[in-house]
Structure 1
Amino acid sequence: MSTSKDNNDWLARIRLPVLLILPTFVILIIFSYNGVSVNRIRSMDEHDEMMTRASFCASEGNQSSHDARYLFSEWNEEAFLSLRKKVEKYFKLSKSIIIYDPEVKFVNMSFTLRPSKLDRTHGITPQCTCAVIGSSGLLLNSSCGKEIDSHDFVLRTNLPFIRGFENDVGEKQNITTVNAMGAEILANELLVYMNRTFNGEQRPTNETEDEKKGRLALQRLKDLKRAILWQPKMGTREFKVVINASQEMGLKFQVAYTTTSTVRASSRVWRTSAPSTGLILFTAAVTFCDKISLYGFYPFHTDRYNNTIKYHYYEDVEFNFDTNVHKMPNEFLKLTELHKKGAIRHVTDRCEH
């Protein structure tokens, strides 16, 4: 009985201190937990900021004419990151360029607005140096081919002709666009060619002009090899015709589409109502590439030496830059300003070797 009484007395003696200390202990635990949470949130914020500032370029290493990093001695990282921040406010890469895995057949391409793992798609890998190639006649006799090909990643507009122009425009291509009108023309040209030659027949000696266009269209698609063909505007029926016909003929290029309006996003970035395909392609490049060179973005009929130049380096067509809906001269001024700030390289002259 004495032992029981002693135990009760001991419990009575510690009850009050425990009741006084326990709330404080609980509060300390809560504050400690919250402190960890706050620190964790803070570290996540710092990580996000670090990722925003992180460069996709590895150590500079030994640079040479085969490595385009040597071209960017005047690159202004702060100016470029400011540009990227502005672009990423409106232009979402993960929704803008969705690439089907190479082995996916056309019949399994749903072009869904919400792709899942079942769709077998992926995005673009971040790059250090990129060359974005327009189609201005300024590229003719520029000798920029080797310089262009020295970039890690080369983006081209509207499936241009490359064969025969390699010295001036290079031959490397990782992604090329095709706009809605281009897809329609391409689909029609391919269908004409397939109807005449694909069923085991050899190309006729009396090839018509339309058949010639189809043959050349097929050649441009073949020259893509394993590169990506991207329609930056919402997919059209004609684009799907091109993809289906190309796979039927055994071509292996990759297919990319968008689930958002890249036109609207680019319009908001640059405050223009109708951005050109070239400007949309450049806008996309800003989101995944650090050091960007532009070639062939020159919407004028004469160069700085007052020499007449073509609209496209690979064809003779009439074009009025002043009345065109895209307002390319205004786009040129915006790109030139970025060049002056060191955010990008905007090449408007011959290349030196």
Structure 2
Amino acid sequence: MALQRRLVVGLVVVGCLLCVYMLCMNLESPLSWSMVPIKHLHGFIQETSESSSLDYEEPPDRETSRDQSTRPPPTSTVKTRTSTAAQHKPAENNNAPEVSKSSSRSDDADGTRTKGPPILQLVQADGPKDPPFIGDTYMSEDIPPLTECPDDIRSRVTKTAFGERFLEHIPVLQWAEDVTPEQHQRLIQYPGAHGWGGLDYNTLVETLSVLNSSSSWRLLDDWKDRSNQSECIRCAAVGNGGILKDSKKGKEIDGHHYVFRTNGAIIKGFEQDVGSRTTHYTFSTNTMMNSMRSYAGAGYRGPPQSKETRYVFLPDHDRDYLLMKAAATHRLVERGRDRARDPSRYFGEDVSVEKLKMYHPDFIRYLRNRFLRSSALKTKYKNIYRPSTGAVMLLAALHTCDQVSAYGFMTPDYRNYSDHYYDRSYHRVGFFINHDLRMEMSLWQQLHQAGLIRLYMHR
């Protein structure tokens, strides 16, 4: 009996030692979120500690991410060659190699798109092979610049540390001609905003087929009408951060050719600080709906509506494709979570297909891989991590405008300001695991110091 007791005690001791060892190993593993108390909020997980700004009406459904410095991706080599395109039909092989086929895009005299030979572009990282979900392979397109600005971002970026990351021919938007069996086979490997994973092929064809005009693939589609013979395109990207409160920057913001806004952008009553114009409104259906619920009390009723406003979908789920199709065809949403909703409620009765655009998943994945490559990609949250909606908006402006000014974005003194410029009292904002907001803050500082953007900061 005594021997049996000794054996039992020994087994208990060994088990305890193994548990302690495993706990120590886990604590030594790098984590991408802060080890702080968390709380449940409306079914989502949010950090209880301090927060930051921009568009954190984003779905607050992730844990917080730890401070990260922005670092460049591995040096890459690019190979191109021509190939031919196939007719529309569902892809049959989900294990496609990382190969991309696309048509080059150029303007005829009447502004229509000329289809050139498809381009095959391979971008392969040197050194250790990236895991497959990274997908550092993208479509390439050739869109002639709208201006001959002598001091545009594309000419300056090559002289900075961002030169190796920046792909001049990355497609910013997707449209009808992007849906091919080859592209479907390639992009279904990537979930969420980074690809077409989980999307039915017929839904893609039906949705993107309505984006079939020259305005569908140009973000700044009306430049010829508004240029006033200016040699440079000046854009203002306006976040919703509290730093804009009492800034008196409204007139300066409205003085740009284009004004980009995102999510819960409340304008009425705040024109003196944030301006009154909106030429491009970036959102996902999820972030827009969340904004309408969360900021109704502050006066947010939905996206800005004006003759010059374009609506740029960030497709995070199939609901974005379905809402976009319904808006373009002036019908109710036909199925899914938003079934029977009327898109005119959000975009106005006179919304036309020319005012609707959708970011290309290659562009979102490219931003994640080369500008905001967070350590969250090494965790179980890798499939939900993406750049915030405001970050996509600002970086889209960086890739399409000649000069970019950024307002209302997170700066190192963010604790001094409330979550949003329209908050009636001070609110700390949340850090969520689906974004790396401190990494974004660091990126804005680096882009500002490199002279690629002009970032508004309190002095």
Q: TM-score, with normalisation over the residues of structure 1?
A: 0.57
TM-superposed deviation, 1:268? 1.6
Alignment pair present for 1:142 and 2:247? yes
The alpha-carbon distance between structure 1 residues 86 and 95, as it changes in their structure 2 partners (threshold 3 A), is farther
Alignment pair present for 1:338 and 2:447? yes
Q: Which residue of 1 aligns with 2:319?
A: 237
Distance in 1 of aligned mates of 2:387 and 2:316? 15
| Alignment partner of 2:356 out of 249, 255, 260 | 255
Q: Which residue of 2 aligns with 1:292?
A: 404
TM-superposed deviation, 1:221? 3.3
TM-superposed deviation, 1:262? 3.6
Structure 1 counterpart SS, 2:208:
coil
Q: Which residue of 1 aligns with 2:147?
A: 56
Alignment pair present for 1:124 and 2:219? yes
Structure 1 counterpart SS, 2:356:
strand
TM-superposed deviation, 1:54? 6.8
Structure 1: state its 5+ residue gaps: 1-50, 60-71, 99-108, 190-209
| Alignment partner of 2:417 out of 304, 309, 324 | 309
Identity of aligned residues (%): 21
Spell out, residue by residue over 1:130-179, the C-alpha distance to the aligned partner (whole angstroms, 9 max, x if none): 11111110000000101111111111121411111110011111101112
Structure 2 counterpart SS, 1:88:
coil
Q: Which has the higher helix share?
A: 1
Q: Which residue of 1 aligns with 2:263?
A: 158
The alpha-carbon distance between structure 1 residues 158 and 347, as it changes in their structure 2 partners (threshold 3 A), is same
Q: Which residue of 2 aligns with 1:19?
A: none
Spell out, residue by residue over 1:257-286, the C-alpha distance to the aligned partner (whole angstroms, 9 max, x if none): 234244312112214243111111122112
CA RMSD of aligned residues (A): 4.0
Distance in 1 of aligned mates of 2:236 and 2:360? 25
| Alignment partner of 1:266 out of 363, 367, 371 | 367
Q: Which residue of 1 aligns with 2:392?
A: 280
Q: Which residue of 2 aligns with 1:320?
A: 430
The alpha-carbon distance between structure 1 residues 139 and 214, as it changes in their structure 2 partners (threshold 3 A), is closer
Structure 2 counterpart SS, 1:154:
strand
Alignment pair present for 1:95 and 2:174? yes
8 Å CA contact 1:146–1:167 kept in 2: the answer is yes
Runs of 4+ in 1 over 4 A off after TM superposition: 51-55, 75-78, 81-85, 113-117, 214-218, 238-242, 299-303
Q: Which residue of 1 aligns with 2:277?
A: 172
Structure 2 counterpart SS, 1:294:
strand
Distance in 1 of aligned mates of 2:281 and 2:233? 18
The alpha-carbon distance between structure 1 residues 158 and 340, as it changes in their structure 2 partners (threshold 3 A), is same
TM-superposed deviation, 1:80? 3.3
Structure 2: state its 5+ residue gaps: 1-141, 178-204, 224-231, 333-341, 375-385
> What is the number of residues matched between the two proteins?
247
Which letter maps to 2:219?
Answer: I
TM-superposed deviation, 1:337? 1.6
TM-superposed deviation, 1:129? 0.6
Distance in 1 of aligned mates of 2:282 and 2:255? 21
Which letter maps to 2:147?
Answer: F
TM-superposed deviation, 1:52? 9.8
Alignment pair present for 1:79 and 2:156? yes
Q: TM-score, with normalisation over the residues of structure 2?
A: 0.45
